[in-house]
Structure 1
Amino acid sequence: MKIEHKDYKLLHQYEEDEKLRTSFNLLTEKTYHFDFEKWYQAGYWEDNCVLYSIADKDQVIAHVTVNVIDFIVLGEEKRFVQLGTVMTDPEYRNQGLSRMLMENIMLEWEHKCDMMYLFANDAVLDFYPKFGFVPVSEYQAFYKPEAVIKGPAFRKMNMDDAKDRDLLYHTAKYASPLFKISMKDNAGLVMFYANYFDRFSFRDNFYYIEALKAIAVAEYEEGTLVLYDILALEKIEIKEVIHALANGKTGKVSLRFMPDQTEGYEISLYKEDNSTLFVQAKQRKLFEEHQLIFPILSHT
């Protein structure tokens, strides 16, 4: 990639450089109101989180993160690349820096993965089609328990407890696929949501079901149980988890993932505010035909 300004340079995978990492975190805080430093210091930043930036001397001024994520998709292992934290310092905008980064990344990763995708906010929906991305719909599943069936016992996990953090990490790393799209061996990203993402954290939403060797990521909203994710060391029935967590007030269960088997579930469109999924055009058919959704803990 040609950088025309003599003081600009392309940076790649530089997270071990404290000065540059600090500059990257400052731009992230300025743009998105969070940073990655606590996550990095905790040791959960893994090699699949790859930084691509343009710097003016030692100041990061534009950036795109490449997140290499392995998934089990409809029973087949796939390597996807998710693009995230796309940003340019306001003082350096309108120079085509994000375009240069995107072109460089597309060229480098096109033949190293099965698909590239990203989640875009409403302000930039016209930007990504320039690189061959198209918007696609996601779907969610609902389940209405006909009766409260007493399931196995569970307990709320404490992310301030090192044993619970280790349990979560181990379970996430070796979790069995349960959904139409299941993330594989990306415990570092799960830990980011568990304890190191101050802006939007799930640290109070982890529940351990010992009998199932499973961790549920869930929230109670009046009469609805929102089930964001399930991490289990062995294949289990999702409805076992539902009946473990449901209580007498649970009239509906909203799943933010798509079960492998959807019999007995109601399926409908899902639209997150200010967020649209873009995939490469050649993968549009996969999403149009199979009513998919990326589990929220796989978002970057």
Structure 2
Amino acid sequence: MSPVPPVTEIGPRDAALQRAFCDYVPQVFRTVDFRRWCAWGEWNDDYRAFAVLEDGRVVANASVTRMRLRLEGHEVQAFQLGAVGCVPSHRGRGLARRVMAAALDACGDAPVLLFANPRVRQFYPLFGFEPWPQTLFSAPHEAVPEGPPAPTLDLEDAKVRADFATLSREGLPVTERFGARDYATIASWYAANGFSRPLRGLGAGAWVSADIEGDTLYLDDIFAREPFDLRAWLPRLIDRPIRSIRFGFTPERWWPGALEAGEDLEADLFVRKLSLSREPHRFPVLART
């Protein structure tokens, strides 16, 4: 019988193990990379990887991110799993189960959520997770460009990242129904991989992630210190007329009249020890690991 492989915890100060982790990720998730994000210094104490190593290589992993969730107006300390998998050459040996068990052990009795790969939906219920639906939200709204365009903010700049982290930590949660705060390092990962929409500045205390597709403005997230008139700023976020808005979060705070636009069939949310409202909601897309 083969010996049970140990699980190694990788943290923000483990440079050599971080490199091994970065080599692992594209072997399992072909379009994903952590190298630029690590070079930016975004791997902090909130992020830990639990990995099986063989000859210095990470061959299986489950990562844990500490989260400050917002549930119906209350803050809940929780965790989110990500980068769960095993390299193709080592599948079928139970390694993914082993790292999952280690990651969940690190979470203790706290609530846990994750967004699954559609190909492994049957895997997570083995660990007490249950699927939970996510709702798409949209609103009809016609607007045309007007006024100076809102400037684009580049997270390649360390000062911008620092200001972004402060705004995410101290500002309003984008939603109180089911969201989070203080997740700038998750959002920066999307930027480092070129997956996020442009980050635009609406004055000193409000940044939004938004872009146009066709005649629809996709508004993925809002980071703001206090409420503001979003409708008044829309003409400065667009370079051509729009007829509708799609929201990457539950927009009860920013657009109370938004409509349900069906189920988000790409979300694949799973929760464990987390009691969620049956009211329609969408966990912010830039807070998902």
Q: Give 1:222's aligned amino acid.
A: G
Q: Give the equivalent residue in structure 2 for 1:132.
A: 128
Indicate how the Cα distance of structure 1 residues 94 and 168 shifts in structure 2: closer, same or farther if over 3 A, else same. same
Percent pairwise identity: 26
Q: Give 2:201's aligned amino acid.
A: Y
Indicate how the Cα distance of structure 1 residues 182 and 235 shifts in structure 2: closer, same or farther if over 3 A, else same. farther
- Root-mean-square deviation (CA), in Å? 2.6
Structure-1 separation of matches of 2:104 and 2:208? 35
- Contact 1:216-1:241 at 8 Å conserved across structures: no
Report the alpha carbon displacement of residue 120 of structure 1 after superposing the two structures with TM: 1.1
Indicate how the Cα distance of structure 1 residues 17 and 160 shifts in structure 2: closer, same or farther if over 3 A, else same. closer
Q: Is 1:264 aligned to 2:257, yes or no? A: yes
Structure-1 separation of matches of 2:41 and 2:213? 33
Structure-1 separation of matches of 2:53 and 2:93? 13
Gaps of 5+ in 1: none
Q: Give the equivalent residue in structure 1 for 2:188.
A: 191
- Matches of residues 146-295 of structure 1 in structure 2 within 5 Å? 154-179=150-175, 180-194=177-191, 196-197=192-193, 200-202=194-196, 205-210=198-203, 213-242=205-234, 244-246=236-238, 249-261=241-253, 263-273=256-266, 275-280=267-272, 283=274, 286-287=276-277, 289-295=278-284
Name the SS for the 2:6 alignment partner.
strand
Q: Is 1:88 aligned to 2:82, yes or no? A: no
Equivalenced residue count is: 286
- Contact 2:136-2:264 at 8 Å conserved across structures: no
User: Deviation string for 1:259-291 (max 9, x for gaps)?
Assistant: 234632111333254x411112x546x24x121
TM-score, structure 1 length as denominator?
Answer: 0.84
Structure-2 separation of matches of 1:85 and 1:120? 10
Structure-2 separation of matches of 1:27 and 1:44? 18
Structure-1 separation of matches of 2:240 and 2:36? 39
Gaps of 5+ in 2: none
- Contact 2:84-2:96 at 8 Å conserved across structures: yes
Name the SS for the 1:123 alignment partner.
helix
Indicate how the Cα distance of structure 1 residues 122 and 182 shifts in structure 2: closer, same or farther if over 3 A, else same. closer
Q: Is 1:27 aligned to 2:24, yes or no? A: yes
Name the SS for the 1:251 alignment partner.
strand
Q: Give 2:180's aligned amino acid.
A: M
User: Deviation string for 1:70-93 (max 9, x for gaps)?
Assistant: 122221001221111011122211
- Contact 1:151-1:240 at 8 Å conserved across structures: no
Indicate how the Cα distance of structure 1 residues 295 and 57 shifts in structure 2: closer, same or farther if over 3 A, else same. same
Name the SS for the 1:39 alignment partner.
helix
Q: Give 2:35's aligned amino acid.
A: E
Q: Which moved more, 1:141-150 or 1:120-129?
A: 141-150
Indicate how the Cα distance of structure 1 residues 75 and 7 shifts in structure 2: closer, same or farther if over 3 A, else same. closer
- Matches of residues 66-105 of structure 1 in structure 2 within 5 Å? 66-105=64-103
Q: Give 1:45's aligned amino acid.
A: W
Name the SS for the 1:210 alignment partner.
coil
Name the SS for the 1:171 alignment partner.
helix
Indicate how the Cα distance of structure 1 residues 242 and 183 shifts in structure 2: closer, same or farther if over 3 A, else same. farther
Q: Give 1:21's aligned amino acid.
A: Q
Report the alpha carbon displacement of residue 96 of structure 1 after superposing the two structures with TM: 1.0
Indicate how the Cα distance of structure 1 residues 292 and 110 shifts in structure 2: closer, same or farther if over 3 A, else same. farther
- Contact 1:87-1:98 at 8 Å conserved across structures: yes
Q: Give 1:126's aligned amino acid.
A: Q
